[in-house]
Structure 1
Amino acid sequence: MTAHGPFSDEDLTRFLDGEASPEDIAAIVVAQDTDLDLRRRLDRLRVLGDMAAMASAPVLASAPSVPADLVQGRSKRSPWPVRLGLAASLVLGVLIGAFGGARQGPDDWMAYVAAYQALYTEETLSSLPAAQTVTDAGLAQALGRDLPPVDVEGLSFRRAQLLGYEGQPLVQMAFLTEGGAPVALCIIALPRQDDSPLRMTQLEGMQAAHWTDGGYGYLLIGGDEQAVIRTAALDVLDDL
C-alpha cells in the first residue's frame, strides 16, 4: 500500500489477520468509515476466509503427516508440498465456484449465504451440543432487533454467529434437522425493502425459504427436504 494509493487485497487480508502494521491498521480503520466499497471488500474477504477454512479442514485432515526426516531437515524431496498444493487447489475451486461470477440485485446476500451454507456438512455442527437459547446478547444488539426463538419445529439449534454483507451485520443461526442436514436461518437488515411473503426456492441445490418483514430479510436454507424447510420457516415466521 502506498501513502495515497488504494488498499490491495493483501493489505486488507493482513488487516483482517491482525498482521498489518500499526500505520496500515489506522489508515484502514479511518478509511472504512467513509468508503463503502472498502467495507464491501472487507466483508467479502471475511466470508472468503471463513469459507477457505471450512473447505480446507477436511482436506488437510486427511493429508498424511509431515515425514519425520523432513521435519529434521534430512529429506530433499517429499510429497507433502504436493498434498498441500492439492488442498489449496480444492479450496480455490470452491471459492471460484462460489464467487467467480458477479452477483447483482436486491437478493445478492442470499446468494452469498447459500454459497457459504453449501460448505456445511453434518460433521460441521454435530460436534456442537444442542442449545436452548442464544447466549451472546451482542448478536441481537448488532442486528438491531431481538432474535427469534431457537425452538424451531423439526430443527435442533446448535450455534449463532455474526457475519456481514456489504457493511450490514448478518446473523446466522445454525441448526441440524432430525436427519442430520445442516440448516441456517440468516437475518439481515434491509431497511429499504418492502415486506414480502414467504417464498420457497432452491439455492446451491438446497431447499430454501425467504421473506422480508419489518425491514429485515430472512433466509432459511439447507438440506433437500422442502417440507422440513417450509414447516420450520412458517414456525419462525409465526414467532416474529
Structure 2
Amino acid sequence: MNKPSDEQLVAYLDVELDGDYRNQLDNAIVEDPLLSLRVQWLSRSNLPFKNAYDELAQQAPLDRLQARLDAIPSPEKPGLSRRWFIGGAAAALLAGGVLADRLFLGWHAAQSNNWRALVGDYMALYVPQTLDHLPTDEASQRAQLRTVDARLGLNLSPATLKLPGAEFKRAQVLEYDGVPIAQIMYLDARHGPLALCVTRSNQGSRALEHERRHEMNVVFWTEHEHAWMLIGHVPAAALEQSATLLKSRSIG
C-alpha cells in the first residue's frame, strides 16, 4: 500500500476509516516499525486548545474598541448603543475566527519551530528492538545517505559518521510541516538507540550546547546552513565527545 498521510493515520486512530483500508493499515503497522512509530507519536498528540482559547479571552481588544467607539456619535436608530456595537464587533471577530486563528497559529508555530522537541518526542518511542533487525551493509547505508544528501545539501558517508561503541543502523528523511529532518540512527551497545539529526538553519555557526529531553541527553550545534543534534541515553560527557568527533570530520 502507499505511504499513508498523517491525516489518514489520525482517522485510523479515531476509528473513522472503512474496514478494508483499516485492515490494510493494521497489517502495515505490524510489518513497518517506522509506521508504527508514527502512529504512536500521533496517538500521543494532545494540543492544548483550552489553553489557547483561555489566552484568547484575555487578549480580546475590548478596551481598544471601547476607546475608538467612544468617539463615535451615538447611533440615531433607537435601541442601538455603543455597548451593542462593542459586543457585536467582538462577537464578529470571535465568530469569524480571526483572533482564535492568529492566537492558535502563533502558538503552534512556536511549538513546531522547536525541532529538537519534535525529535525528542519521536526518540522517546525507540527501543533497541526497533533497530536491531535492520541491515547494516555499507551499500544500504550509502544509498540511504544519498537520499539525505539530496534533500539537505550534505555530503555524508558511513566513514565520517562512525561513532565509538555505536553501530550505524539507518539513515532516513522525516518531514514536519514541509521541513525535512534527517535522522541517522545508531544502536549503542550499552545505552540503546542514539540519533544524529540535522535540518536546515539560518542561524549561522554556534558552539556545542547541552540539554535534556525525555530523560535523554542532547548535544546540539549549528554550522553554516545546518542545525545538528545528537540525542540518546549516552552520558553527557561521552555524547559531547561523539559530537566533537563528528564536527572534526566536517560533517557540519
1:141 aligns with 2:150: yes
Mark the CA change 1:12 to 1:189 in structure 2 (over 3 Å): closer, same or farther.
same
- CA shift, 1:91, in A, is 7.1
Do structure 1's residue 221 and structure 2's residue 204 form an aligned pair?
Answer: no
Say which SS state the counterpart of residue 228 (structure 1) adopts: helix
**Equivalence for 1:114:** 120
Deviation digits for residues 1-23 of structure 1 (CA, Å, limit 9, x no counterpart): xxxxxxxxxx9724999xxxxxx
Deviation, 1:107, is 5.8
What corresponds to 1:200 in structure 2?
A: 210
User: Residues 148-170 of structure 1: CA distance to partner in whole angstroms, max 9, x if unpaired?
Assistant: 62212332100000112332221
Tell me the SS of whatever aligns to 1:134. Answer: helix
The 2-side partners of 1:214 and 1:236 are apart by: 15
- 1-structure distance, mates of 2:176, 2:153: 15
CA contact (8 A) 1:51 1:95 kept: no
Question: What is the CA–CA distance in structure 2 between the aligned matches of 1:162 and 1:100, rounded to whole Å?
Answer: 28
User: Structure 1-normalised TM-score?
Assistant: 0.58
Distance (Å, rounded) in 1 between the aligned partners of 2:167 and 2:156: 16
Q: Judge conservation of contact 1:153–1:235 (CA < 8 Å) in 2.
A: no
Indicate how the Cα distance of structure 1 residues 56 and 129 shifts in structure 2: closer, same or farther if over 3 A, else same: same
Equivalent in the alignment of 2:187: 176
Three-state SS of the structure 2 residue aligned to 1:138 is: helix
SS of the equivalent of 1:235 reads helix
The equivalent position to 2:45 in structure 1, one of 76, 95, 105, is 95
Question: What residue number does 2:246 align with?
Answer: 236
Matched, 1:155 2:166: yes
Bigger radius of gyration: 2
Runs of 5+ unmatched residues, structure 1: 1-10, 18-49, 58-89
Cα RMSD after superposing both structures: 3.4
Q: Is the alpha carbon distance of 1:95 and 1:15 closer, same or farther for their aligned partners in structure 2, counting shifts above 3 Å?
A: closer
Structure ranking higher on relative contact order (CA contacts 8 Å, 6+ apart)? 1
- Identical positions, percent: 24
Q: Distance in 2 between matches of 1:16 and 1:56?
A: 8
1:153 alignment partner, SS class? coil
- Normalising by structure 2, we get a TM-score of 0.55
- CA drift at 1:55: 7.3
Q: Secondary structure at the match of 1:179?
A: coil
Match of 2:23 in 1: none
